[in-house]
Amino acid sequence: MFMGEYRHNIDEKGRIIVPSKFREDLGKQFVVTRGLDQCLFAYPLTEWRILEEKLKQLPLTKKDARAFTRFFFSGAIECELDKQGRINIPQTLRQYAHIVKECAVIGVSNRVELWAADKWDGFVEESEESFADLAENLLDFDL
């Protein structure tokens, strides 16, 4: 399970250090793709395969299903950690997530999210104000 928040800078070549706490569970190779809320999602290969199977079940006849699947898979890349524990994030994904320099790397249960630090800070600030409301809306899920 992934949890916690870390800050790292992305270098001029698009490389970022993956926090050591996440490396073992992500594995030497894992998938990074466009996520929701203008961040990037990183999945261990086992979690990616589970998600891939679920997305395959979406009806091809539904426009939203086709659009989501295209968006999600077209942005996906398989990453491999280098000897320093870094990955290279392609320019297209960095642009999507607005990652220029400082990056927030957060653990979210079965995935890791990479955010432009300023976007993450804004999300946290906005969410703090409505956290109680969010929790109340999720009571039906027995949290």
H/E/C letters for each residue in 33-91?
A: EECHHHCEEEEEHHHHHHHHHHHHCCCCCCHHHHHHHHHHHHCCEEEECCCCCEEECCH
Kindly list the distances between the CA atom of residue 24 and the CA atoms of 30, 44, 50, in Å, as whole numbers in the listed order: 11, 10, 19
Long-range contacts of 54-57 (CB under 8 A, 24+ apart): none
Quote the pLDDT of residue 129: 80
Distance from C-alpha of 114 to C-alpha of 46, rounded to nearest angstrom: 19
Domain 2-141: give its CATH code: 3.40.1550.20
Number of neighbours of residue 38 by Cβ within 10 angstroms = 14
Residues near 119 by beta carbon (within 8 Å), at least 6 away in sequence:
38, 39, 97, 98
Place of tokens 């989501």: 68
Would you give the distance in Å from CA 91 to the centre of its chain? 16
What is the rounded average pLDDT of the residues 104-116? 98
pLDDT exceeds 70 at position 33: yes
| Residue 106 confidence (pLDDT) | 98
> Above 60 in pLDDT, residue 82?
yes
Helices then strands, each counted (H, E), the chain: 5, 8
* pLDDT value, residue 141: 66
pLDDT attached to residue 120: 98
Do 115 and 122 contact (CB within 8 A), yes or no? no
Q: Rounded mean pLDDT of the chain?
A: 94
pLDDT at 6: 98
Average pLDDT (71-75) is: 94
